Every structure is written in C-alpha cells, then in structure tokens.
Amino acid sequence: MAINEEVSLKPNSDIERGIDANIVSISDDGKSVVYISQNRKYRLNNTEEIVRATAYISLILDYGYSADCIALEFSVPDRVPNHFADIVVFKDRTKKTPYIVVECKREEASQGELDQAVAQGFGYANQLRAEFLWMTSIIRNDYFKVMGFGGAERIENRIADLPKEGKTEAARAKYTKGGKDGFELETVQENELTRKFKQAHDALWAGGKRNPSEAFDELDKLIFCKIWDERTPRKPGEPYEKGARRMKRFSKKISVFQARNSKPS
C-alpha cells in the first residue's frame, strides 16, 4: 500500500459491524486498526487501510471464511523487490494453498489506478496460484476466476461475485431478490451514490476520449436501466442484472423511450 499523510478513521457501517463482531478494533486515537485474530495493527496512513478492513470484515461476515484462513500483507514469492498481497484467503488453516487474492485501492482512485490494481492482483494471484481475484475500492469491485484462463484474459474470466465458504464456484449473480443465494440490494447514502455516479461518468468519459455530453448521456442510460431493472417484478432468488447485460437487454427499450419523448407534441 502507498503511504500518504496520516488520517483518522471515519466510521462506516462495515467497520462498525466488524467492531461489533470483535473482528477488528480501532485504537483510542483513531489512527490505527487492529485485526484481532491476526494480532496485527496497521496505521491508517491512507484510506486504503479502511478499504482493506472493510474487505476483511466482509470475507468473514458475508462470505463465511474463518479469520484463521486469512493472511494480511502476505509475501508474494519470486518478486524483486519483495511485494505483498493485501489479503490472501487460504483453503484451510494450514495456510499452504492460496484460494483468493484481494487487492485493495483507495476509494478515490482513478480508473487507471484501479485497472492497474487489477493487473497487479493478477500478478500476485498467478504467482501464488490462487483460484480467484477480488480487486476492491469499495466503490468499484471486480471479481475474476484466475485458474484455467490465460494470463491476459480479463473478460471471459470475469465473474459476478466470489464463492462463499464451502462453495467451489461463484454464484451466477451477486445481487438477488430477497438476498437468496446472494445479497439483496441496499439503500446507500447520498454521498456514496454521488461517488459511484462520478466514477461511472469518469469511466464513460475515458479520460477525455469521449465527448463529456455523450458520456453524460450514457450515464443517463445506465441510471434508466438500473431503475427499470429494480422495478421489474421477480421471484425470490432471481438475480438483478449487471450493468453491461442490463444495457444490452434494455437498449431497444431505451431507444423506444427516447424516440417517443423526442417527437413534437
């Protein structure tokens, strides 16, 4: 993790539930996070440590992995200078067979930085022969199956979510109606939603390669599709659509909608 100026922890719901579950604690001055089972304490030199703590808590509470099967700052062999994976989940408590590599980036990271983090995570996962990779900045989460694919593959091996403990394959969707075999959608705070919108716009803008107004139009389409999808009736356990799939599925409906609204009255 890169070192920036020291910051104090700003509590969020994920950190708070980790504290409630006795998974992590925060130092009295609010400048360090303690991973209790790991017996490790890290300074909050930047917001990446908050992201790592959030991911660590989620792996235990949401995915069911034991803290005894997780390592922090795990040394990656055959790399000079020596590098460390932010989080590694192992198949068992012996910690001899890496299963999931987690690469964390600060919430404010640019799309370029996040893409670079994915590449770095793949390097670590391949070196450790891990089966899955999770790159997270909290706002953006990318999941990949590493084993069985070429080292440069980034499309065919993209998956909806990580497998939960005891499962060998990931679920077909991360978010499902009622949270059955997945997670239910959650209401987010306005500031988080604003950050997600900004990140989506920046990705669509592509660093200036696309006209800003065109990028904004594409963002409008995504928002339209998102609202449409959430309001679509579905049975418990049925998945919500992901962005790219949703755009493809609803593109005709968007065109019809826009055509109707562009006609003179």
Q: What ranges do the domains of the chain cover?
A: 47-170, 190-262
CATH number of the 47-170 domain: 3.90.1570.30
State the DSSP string of 180-241: TTSB------HHHHHHHHHHHHHHHHGGGTS-HHHHHHHHHHHHHHHHHHHHS---TTPBPP
pLDDT at 263: 53
pLDDT at 259: 53
Return the closest-CA partner of residue 161 out of 240, 51, 107, 49.
240
Helix 212-231 to helix 243-262 angle (10° resolution) is: 100
Mean pLDDT per block of 10 residues along the chain (265 residues) reads 47 84 93 94 86 97 96 84 91 96 92 93 95 94 92 88 88 74 75 77 72 81 80 82 53 51 53
**Are 30 and 8 within 8 A, CB to CB?**
yes
**Are 133 and 144 within 8 A, CB to CB?**
yes
Element (H, E) at 100: strand 98-104
